Structure 1
Amino acid sequence: MFELLEEDFSKNAQICGVDEAGRGPLAGPLSFALVYFPKNILEKVHKGEILKGLNDSKKLTEKKRESLFEELISLPITYSHKFISNRSIDKFGLSYCIFSAVSFLVKKSNLNSSFLLIDGNYNFENRLIGSKIRFDYKSVIKGDSKLASIAAASIIAKVKRDRYMVEISSKYPKYNFDKHKGYGTKSHIEKIKLLGPSKIHRMSFLKGILEK
C-alpha cells in the first residue's frame, strides 16, 4: 500500500510521522500532528487489516478523513497535536513556527528514542543548534503518500484544523470559514475586500490583497 516502510529508516528508534495542515490559508491556525505506531499496529496497517484506505489526507474525501480520524484515535498509538495561531505566524514567520511546533510535538509525545519522518523538505540543522529540545529527523517529500505514519499525521492535522474552522465560523459567520477553511478562494478574497480582515486572518498573508 505504501511505497516506503518506517523500519527502513531506523531499526531501533521509535519512528514517528509528522505532517501539517494549513500552511497556505489566509486565515486560521497552522495545524501539526505527530503519530507513532507501535510495531504490532504498524504491521496491521501495512497488511490492510486496519485503517483501510489510509492515504494523504488531501487525496481523501471529508467523510473518509473523519472515519479514519476516529479509528486512529481509538487505537493504542502515540500521537500529539499542536495549533500555531495566526498571530504567531504573523509575529515569528512560518519557518520559526514550524520548528517550534515540531519541537513541541516531540516533547509532548514523551518517546524515549524517536526518529521523525517529516513530510516536506525541511532543514532544521541551524535551529537545532542550541535548542533545548533535540531530535533526529529526515524530511520526506510527498511523505504523506509514501509512509503510513505520515499519512496518519496528515489526517489528524487536517481533521482537527477543519473542525476548528467550522467551529470558529459561528463567531465570524460573514466569512464562511466553514466552507473554505480559510483558504484563498475567490469568494473568501471578496469577503476580505468587502469586510476587511477578521481577528483570525494572517495579516502577513494579506498584504497583496489589501493593497489592491
Structure 2
Amino acid sequence: MQTRKKPTPTLAEEMALYEQGYSFIAGLDEAGRGCLAGPVVAGAVILPRSENTLELFAGVNDSKQLSPAARERFYEHIMQHALAVGVGIGSVAVIDERNILQATKHAMGLALKQLTPAPDALLLDAIYLPKVALPQRSIIKGDARSLSIAAASIIAKVTRDRLMVELHKEYPHYGFDQHKGYGTVAHVTALHTHGVTPHHRRSFSPVSEMFGLFASTND
C-alpha cells in the first residue's frame, strides 16, 4: 500500500496576488500558541519575486515537517535570501491579559512593522488581522500550501526555540530546552515539583490551577 506524499508549499497563492497587481506579499505564521510557558512568536517573510524563487527556497516547508537541524539551516537561508523578514513577540503578560489569539495578532502586527519594503498584501495561516488595513488571505493549513507562510513558520519556530533554550539556562529544572514550553509529561511533572515560574502562562490550564498552590518565589 502506497503512502500519500504530503503536499509541499508552492507559490500559487503568491502568483494569484501578483496577477492582481500586488508586489510585496508577506507570509505570516506563529509558533507557541499551545504552550504552557514562554511567549508566542510571529514571523513575517516577503520572498523575492523572480523566476527562480521556488528553486531558491526548495525544501522550505511547514516548520512542523522539518527536523530541528533542517529548520536551523533554512532559517539562515531565509534570513540571507528573503526580500524582508520580521519577527514579533507576544509576551506571557500580553497572553494572560488579552488571551492567546489577541497576543498572536499583536505579535504579527509587530512583525509586519519590521518589514522593509512594507507589504501590500498578506497571506496568513488560518488567521485574520482586522486592525491591519491590507488585503489579506487567511488559508487553512497555509504553512503547507504557501511558500511565504512556510518560510514565516520557520522564522517563528527557530526564533522561539532559541528563546526557550536561553530560558532553560535560567530555569534548568523545567527542561525548556527539550519541550520548549509545551505541556509534555516532563513539563507538567516539573511544574508539580518546582512550581510556577514568571514565564508560565497563568491563564492556561493546568498552570492556572497550580498557581494558587505553587506561586513562584521569583514573582
Please classify the TM superposition score into its range, dividing by the shorter chain length.
Answer: 0.7 to 0.9
1:124-174: CA deviations, max 9, x gaps? 44xx3xxxx522211111010101000000000000100111111000011
Q: CA deviation at 1:75?
A: 1.2
Structure-2 change in CA distance of 1:87 and 1:52 (3 Å): same
Tell me which residue corresponds to 2:73.
67
1:188 aligns with 2:187: yes
> For 2:64 and 2:198, how far apart are their aligned partners in 1?
27
Match of 2:108 among 102, 113, 118: 102
> For 1:72 and 1:209, how far apart are their aligned partners in 2?
40
Tell me which residue corresponds to 2:208.
207
Q: What is the SS of the residue equivalent to 1:193?
A: helix
Structure 1 segments unaligned to the other structure (5+ residues)? none
> For 1:113 and 1:195, how far apart are their aligned partners in 2?
45
Q: What is the SS of the residue equivalent to 1:204?
A: coil
Matching residue's letter, 2:98: F
Q: Choose between structure 1 and 2 for higher RCO, CA contacts under 8 A separated by at least 6 residues.
A: 1
1:173-208: CA deviations, max 9, x gaps? 111100100000001001101111111111111224
Q: CA deviation at 1:96?
A: 2.0
CA contact (8 A) 1:193 1:210 kept: no
Structure 2 segments unaligned to the other structure (5+ residues)? 1-7, 214-219
Matching residue's letter, 2:173: K
> For 2:18 and 2:57, how far apart are their aligned partners in 1?
23
CA contact (8 A) 1:16 1:117 kept: yes
Alignment of 1:41-60 (within 5 A): 43-46=51-54, 48=55, 50-60=56-66
CA contact (8 A) 1:17 1:35 kept: yes
CA contact (8 A) 2:196 2:210 kept: no
Q: What is the SS of the residue equivalent to 1:5?
A: helix
Tell me which residue corresponds to 1:8.
16
Matching residue's letter, 2:32: G
> For 1:158 and 1:204, how far apart are their aligned partners in 2?
22
> For 2:183 and 2:58, how far apart are their aligned partners in 1?
32
Matching residue's letter, 2:13: L
Q: Percent identity?
A: 36
Aligned length: 201
Tell me which residue corresponds to 2:139.
140
Under a length normalisation based on structure 1, what TM-score does the superposition of the two structures give? 0.87
Under a length normalisation based on structure 2, what TM-score does the superposition of the two structures give? 0.85
Structure-2 change in CA distance of 1:113 and 1:55 (3 Å): closer
Range with greater deviation from structure 2 (170-179 or 67-76): 67-76
CA contact (8 A) 1:189 1:209 kept: no
Query: Could you say what the CA RMSD is over the residues aligned between the two structures, in angstroms?
Result: 1.9
> For 2:194 and 2:27, how far apart are their aligned partners in 1?
39
